[in-house]
A and B are shown apart, each in its own frame.
Chain A
């Protein structure tokens, strides 16, 4: 053996030992506690998410900047790198709670910055697996501590060059929360807490006990704030949902979403639409069933399903092409759109416009929900945000009125030229407001106080509100038998291909805020 071989042997040993130290994370004891609680660790999560053997770590030997903490901070609490999901590259930041609570530090912030820059420059999604106690204390205390942060003026710049996805898999405060808020899709494990600061910090600040579920639990975020799309029971379910979501998105904004093979059309029975949607306007139905009947079988992924249920937003496929469905849902509040519903739709329009996803609007709404509560919650502003967003969207937009479409909501839901092509079912009823209310407002006549006059006036107003009346002035380009909905949409998707622009949007919404 030569001297060179011996020298290499020592270096190889050291390299292996250093790697083993990093891979041991926060130590056996902490890791076995997690296992006992059925929680995956930061590296197991990566393994579960990425195609086998595809993960390459970056910043593996990063440690705390404090010399005394170097040995106690493997990977500095954030495991970062690149891997493949279904053959496509993706970047990841996976928090390791067993190392200093995966707290954010000057060095691991540099790692995260590298991940974001590489992903943006080369066009791949960024996945944040959050389980972090927030900023590292005492490292970030004092003017020098806080001043050491903020070295990257693009740290929180979100212009949606590639998708961001987050999972909250434990406590998520500070940076973990901020990246979650910048994400296009968020899933949360039940029991996790997503908030600005931890319950302990919050409790000390306000001087009273704070319940983590109340502060940032899954019910709050899936039902009330809408900041989280899905709550799940296990890490595995969360990771699988991330994969599912990404399967609908392009790797970056310069691509169309990945297309799959068209389904076997014999599995689709258009007659079922007549069973789902009652022709009587006072009867409600669940628009989610209609979307499922129109889209390719088993392809509908609803976003924020428990939040603002008056509106449904869903990714789906039509003959293998990714589309985004926006619908009012008569099942909830009769489909009258409220401020949360407007926010939900606006954020979905931003997603579709940013990533070249055509939009299909299904409209059955008595209008915007009016009332004092809505006004207090800025309903007028929300309605215009939604309307402006729709008008700025340059992806193909198709709108179908199934039954009702009244007032400003008619325009917000793609009425006339607010979509590229409009269709109305022959059951459509379109006007400034429901004729029954209109008769009362204009003539002061109700069914109760003058049934005869009411019937006469209603017959008159009803005559001028049909799909054919709308079609006569070409404000709808088609009057459709409900059973023809899928075929009509498939043809329109082919025709409005945006081939001149390579199917790409102008992305005017791509730099819109991440929360409304």
Chain B
């Protein structure tokens, strides 16, 4: 089992979280949506796996490179 971190590519605000811990996601599935630069920017799974932990909640501000999700496969 290997663990992978998904970090925010951009500073913004967590608008919607569309998956939950324990869910299986495929590569490029949408896990959450950030709001930044007046756009709704999806955070995608970097590869297939199980979501071990979601480190942020809706409404949180996030910085660039902040840890958002840990995946395991």
Contact = CB atoms under 8 A, between A and B. Distances in A.
Interface of A: 223, 281-284, 310, 330-334, 336, 366, 369, 371, 373, 434, 436-437
B55 interface: no
Contacts of B46: 223
Contact of B42 (A284, A366, A436): A284
Contacts of A283: 39-40
B41 A284 contact: yes
A334 B44 CA distance: 13
Contacts of A369: 10
Nearest to B39: A334
B37 A373 contact: no
B40 A282 contact: yes
B62 to A, nearest CB: 13
A336 B46 CA distance: 19
A237 B5 CA distance: 27
Contacts of A336: 10, 37
Contacts of B37: 334, 336, 366, 434
Contacts of A281: 38-39
B9 A333 contact: yes
27 contacts: A223-B46, A281-B38, A281-B39, A282-B38, A282-B39, A282-B40, A283-B40, A284-B39, A284-B40, A284-B41, A310-B9, A330-B39, A331-B41, A331-B42, A331-B44, A332-B41, A333-B10, A334-B37, A334-B39, A366-B37, A366-B38, A366-B39, A369-B10, A371-B11, A371-B64, A434-B37, A437-B38
Contacts of A223: 46
A287 to B, nearest CB: 13
* Chain A interface, >50% SS class: loop
A439 to B, nearest CB: 12
B36 interface: yes
B19 to A, nearest CB: 17
Report which residue of B10, B11, B37 has the largest number of chain A beta carbons within 10 angstroms of its beta carbon. Answer: B37
What 4 A-B pairs come out closest when comparing CB atoms? A334-B39, A334-B37, A333-B10, A333-B9
Nearest to B65: A373
Contacts of B40: 282-284
Given A371-B64, A373-B64, A434 B38 contact: yes
A147 B64 CA distance: 48
A194 to B, nearest CB: 20
Interface string B28-58: 0000000011111110101000000000000
B33 to A, nearest CB: 9
A331 B28 CA distance: 11
Nearest to B4: A219
Given A282-B38, A284-B41, A366-B39, A332 B64 contact: no
A283 B42 CA distance: 10
A258 to B, nearest CB: 32
Nearest to B12: A334
Nearest to B34: A334
Nearest to A437: B38
Contacts of A282: 38-40
Contacts of B41: 284, 331-334
Nearest to A373: B64
Report which residue of A281, A310, A336, A437 has the largest number of chain B beta carbons within 10 angstroms of its beta carbon. Answer: A336
Contacts of A332: 9, 41
A27 to B, nearest CB: 35
Given A334-B10, A371-B64, A373-B64, A436 B38 contact: yes
A257 B41 CA distance: 37
A149 B11 CA distance: 50
A163 B11 CA distance: 40
B16 to A, nearest CB: 13
A434 B36 CA distance: 13
Given A333-B9, A334-B37, A437-B38, 10 more contacts: A281-B38, A281-B39, A282-B38, A282-B40, A331-B42, A332-B41, A366-B37, A366-B38, A366-B39, A369-B10
Contacts of B10: 333-334, 336, 369
Given A284-B41, A284-B42, A334 B64 contact: no
A149 B36 CA distance: 54
Contacts of B39: 281-284, 330, 334, 366
A310 B9 CA distance: 10
A334 B42 contact: no
Contacts of B38: 281-282, 366, 434, 436-437
A284 B42 CA distance: 8
